[in-house]
Structure 1
């Protein structure tokens, strides 16, 4: 029994070790989110629940931005749902590698982010539930604790640093866009189309910021799917 317990604990520790780099990356981003939430007027409970219930960095910043812009609740839900649809495919991809109950698979799906998926997908063989627990647990801890730290202690940062945090959302999406543009230059055209559609709808047609985002996302995604061919490795898989 003792040997089995040690083995199980070892698997959890391996998962935690694999997730430490994710923790290091998530913590400062979550600190920025916590500070933005505080500066935007959200109370501590709302900021904390943001991170506890919506473990998805990009869409969380998006939801905060839409909230502070006065978007309606259903607009925020629609926007976040579309941005997070990729996790449905990621979780489906990991499903054959994870042998456990439906409840545990559901919990694992909740904690499945881009970085978690990258680490889990590269692991050979089946994914032990305890490994996933360690991997996702430490990552989730980094995001939630970073939010708490940013909200409670971000105000001690120098004023110029706090002001610079306002650009975090734009830096985050730029970090997501640049690698895609380097891989396929025509992705920049898709991003510009989305920006143009969003601007026209908001400033030209007077559409609310929430629905303009949803429309711009769908139009740009459809254009990209029709205009940009699949990368070679995907074509081979098909």
Structure 2
């Protein structure tokens, strides 16, 4: 979706590749996080269920109490994938018959889904709240102020927010270590 939006804005190929890489690098982070949460298993099983790791499946598995069994992962991924296939088809059939004004307004649904995925993390971590708010502020400043193209605004806002939040975390940890000594 991001690549298509960037193409529509006339963004250059380098920006599209970099943005797509940065947005999708989260899959490395999600996989690493889930690897610590799931039970020990054969590499082949891990390779199979890694195919199904999405933002939604990660959110469900990550918020599960205790370790996640292989069967649980396969169950979550199977339900998620089959729901996606079935309801994409139904959505196309139903959506194609909606009035054009309603079809045009459906673009908000993707943003609503990401907000729905973000809220549970925000409830558990103040750090995530600050990261989301800071990213939104930077992106707004960059795009509304016409400081950079929308593609670069997203990339820059994401990186800048992550760097600032992590720098604050490192400074806080270093101060607490010095006070303990």
Which deviations, in whole Å up to 9, do the C-alpha atoms of 1:104-132 show, x marking residues without a partner? 3233223112332343342645622x443
**Other-structure match for 2:35:** 95
Contact 2:55 2:117 in 1 (8 A): no
Offset of residue 88 of structure 1:
1.7
Offset of residue 73 of structure 1:
4.5
Offset of residue 164 of structure 1:
1.8
Structure number with the bigger relative contact order (C-alpha 8 A, sep ≥ 6) is 1
Gaps of 5+ in 1: 1-60
Offset of residue 228 of structure 1:
6.1
RMSD after superposition: 3.5
Q: Work out the number of aligned pairs and report it.
A: 166
**Other-structure match for 1:127:** 69
Q: Distance in 2 between matches of 1:94 and 1:192?
A: 30
**Other-structure match for 1:81:** 21
The 5 Å alignment of 1:212-223 reads: 212-223=153-164
TM-score, normalising length from structure 2? 0.67
Which deviations, in whole Å up to 9, do the C-alpha atoms of 1:117-174 show, x marking residues without a partner? 343342645622x443232122012223333333344111233422321333443454
TM-score, normalising length from structure 1? 0.54
Q: Distance in 2 between matches of 1:75 and 1:123?
A: 39
Gaps of 5+ in 2: 177-181
Q: Distance in 2 between matches of 1:153 and 1:138?
A: 21
Change (3 A) 1:216 1:119: closer
Q: Distance in 2 between matches of 1:64 and 1:216?
A: 19
Q: Distance in 1 between matches of 2:93 and 2:101?
A: 18
Which deviations, in whole Å up to 9, do the C-alpha atoms of 1:84-113 show, x marking residues without a partner? 333322212332524022x43233223112
Change (3 A) 1:149 1:91: same
